[in-house]
Structure 1
């Protein structure tokens, strides 16, 4: 049923080659774990990172499917899939610093499952920090203890029996938004020259000071002076989409948010008036409800720069890398494919996001050429949602 499974991610279409590395700080669940995507210098024969970096993530994904025993199958068929970026590639210096995007994953996902959109945005000149949340919403994650470096795994947690889902998810979304703020604070510390060790003792030296690369260190000082902290945004998918909206309330330095098919359910009503910054909602055709769109419109009614668009032919997982799986088996398991070509969906998403970010981060780029997408004008795009659109 399905033939060979592989991951057909493409290289970014922007002018920069893309590198990535993993960063872990702290020795408890209160620390941070993220994958950084960044513009890098060309490097012949560069290693490409695994898409699913550890077997434990396969087990976590399996537990969220109807086939909870299929972890070995996921590992066997997808465990060798790689992401087309340069693993620990040499950072490309930028005198003005790159704008920063902090990315929040959806329920049951983890830091690598949005590599397609993260590497695409990095190729256009952004540093993208893809978080792995520790609120028990990742399919699996871990931290390393201080004493012996032992890994402590944090499993996915279902809503406890007898507890209302709203209150459980509300607590999680607040933790997630706080973690987004912590990432910004971490990068600000590094940018100011503070020494921050990377718990993951990798070969790659993260100690580039505006140009040179060293090896054998786990410092993060390569980012010193490399990020423009006046141009910072937060982005996410599903649970991560509403996390991005809440992060705007918690941190004034976030200038805007991009929410991919946001799951608005966990955001309490009292917070809507506090979301004063612009949000770009990019929705799939098959996930949102009239009630959810109404919540988004509460925000757009307060800020004319908040936009809501829908990509026709897309489904909820169209924003994830699962949509690029070439075999039928896992596409069926994860309901990953709509009728829209996945590359077209990625192009619409990234171009709309870039146009929005140019406007609200005051970038001097050519991204305004895609401004029409922000009004829902273009191939496979409509404003708001199909059930709200008069012509559909």
Structure 2
């Protein structure tokens, strides 16, 4: 609308915010990037359209050039702190092109619908704010989050911010394997960065292989190679973050847009000489859909040879998509006793191998890494997917043989775990309570108080009713109960 002041007409814009973040602490958000040097190609998948490729790698579809992740964390703020972070990834043009590719609708049709969100929609958090000094817990626990197909590092901001507001540091990966909407890896040359090509969502029709026999063992060949790419990204992001907290002067890291951030707040030590973030042990993993698949894949395989293991204690899997994983499996990988610090080698090298191994030198390596605990939170839609749910039960039983670690939330859909159902204007009445339940159950499990939390929510036994007929003639089913009820299996 127009606002007139002293005969000067100015234009004021609406401020669209996602729902207020509930929790004990204000939430800061900083997006970090770190280079992969030398860059490398992952897998054998190739691009059909060379215009989407790097000029020096004209065919390779999966290139590790730069790893990016957004940190959501308890922040130190005051009355002068700026509040509000763009939800749409910048530049806006890239994101709109990415949504067009993902949804399969012309960008010219999407532009008038999405632009108001793209320009004005904000996450209610503090950009590049200092990391708060922990008091009661001495150290903030570390959580790593992996997004699903068509997701991004901001698409789950409500969930990640909810964890951060409770006192956790959450690293939300921006997967650059063609599963995100859009991104622009930068070229790092002698300390400076420049834009590379735009990466949009990658469809199966966009790629090919020279040797079909070489990929016949994968249930979904493209997704299988994207999983391998994601393994690299998670290990590199974890390593870079550990080195940031450890104040490693050899680390190359920057914010994604080059804006300054209070680096010392991340590297500072608190009481008892402890770093503010606990990264040496008891790390937690979480992910949605293909991100949940990523977590399962990561925990069921030996780390790639250039990386040390991530000391994961717990994992929350949100509506996991299992089809990209080989059958049978996945099953927990039993790590052997870790090597001694003498066998790790020197840190400070610019090589990828040294950079990813270095953080482990300060870890407690004298005991065998225990099997991570696991919780799965399922949507009603995925629980009603009969064959998929039966497989999920078998998978979770390998981690939690006593049962009770698959929770289904009635009335939820696959998209309920993301921000999309709670966006302004299109927000549904039941979307926020469902997302709050997802967040609270996840937190209670990560904090080892799941049994206590379950006592405070309505639960039901599994009961299915037929409510109609689908277009393909099959019966349409639903779970009996009220929206927000939880089924425990």
Shared fold (TM-score, shorter chain, > 0.5):
yes
> 2:260 is matched with which residue: 203, 208, 215?
203
Pairs within 5 Å for 1:333-348:
341-348=430-437
> 2:313 is matched with which residue: 233, 252, 255?
255
CA distance in 2, matches of 1:311, 1:121: 19
| Cα deviations by residue, 1:356-379 (Å, 9 ceiling, x for unpaired) | 1122xxxxxx77631448xxxx33
CA distance in 1, matches of 2:21, 2:223: 34
The answer for the alignment partner of 1:72 in structure 2 is: 111
1:37 aligns with 2:75: no
The answer for the alignment partner of 2:345 in structure 1 is: none
The answer for the alignment partner of 2:452 in structure 1 is: 369
The answer for the alignment partner of 1:63 in structure 2 is: 101
The answer for the alignment partner of 1:285 in structure 2 is: 380
TM-score by length of 1: 0.82
CA distance in 2, matches of 1:198, 1:308: 38
The answer for the alignment partner of 1:155 in structure 2 is: 200
The answer for the alignment partner of 1:301 in structure 2 is: 397
Gaps (5+ residues) in structure 1? 213-223, 332-336, 360-365
> Greater shift after overlay, 176-185 or 382-391?
382-391
> Greater shift after overlay, 271-280 or 240-249?
271-280
> Greater shift after overlay, 345-354 or 174-183?
174-183
Shift of 1:170: 1.2
CA distance in 2, matches of 1:256, 1:308: 14
CA distance in 2, matches of 1:344, 1:105: 21
Shift of 1:292: 1.6
Gaps (5+ residues) in structure 2? 1-13, 40-63, 210-215, 304-308, 334-370, 466-476, 482-489
Shift of 1:8: 5.1
> Which structure features the higher share of strand residues?
2
CA distance in 1, matches of 2:194, 2:115: 26
The answer for the alignment partner of 1:92 in structure 2 is: 132
Larger gyration radius, structure 1 or structure 2: 2
1:240 aligns with 2:291: yes
Pairs within 5 Å for 1:94-243:
94=134, 96-147=138-189, 149-152=193-196, 153-160=198-205, 166-195=220-249, 196-200=251-255, 201-208=258-265, 209-210=267-268, 225-229=275-279, 230-243=281-294
Q: Write out the 4+ residue segments of structure 1 that deviate beyond 4 Å after TM superposition.
A: 5-8, 161-165, 381-392
> Greater shift after overlay, 125-134 or 319-328?
319-328
CA distance in 2, matches of 1:241, 1:305: 21
Cα pair 2:97 2:200 within 8 Å, conserved: no
CA distance in 1, matches of 2:175, 2:112: 25
- Secondary structure at the aligned position of 2:142 is classed as strand
CA distance in 2, matches of 1:9, 1:389: 30
Shift of 1:67: 2.4
**CA 1:145 to 1:299, structure 2 compared with 1: closer, same or farther past 3 Å?**
same
**CA 1:7 to 1:352, structure 2 compared with 1: closer, same or farther past 3 Å?**
farther
Give the aligned CA root-mean-square deviation in angstroms: 3.0
Kindly tell me the number of residue pairs found equivalent between the two proteins.
358
**CA 1:382 to 1:133, structure 2 compared with 1: closer, same or farther past 3 Å?**
farther
TM-score by length of 2: 0.66
- Secondary structure at the aligned position of 1:38 is classed as strand
Shift of 1:118: 0.6
> 1:316 is matched with which residue: 405, 414, 419?
414
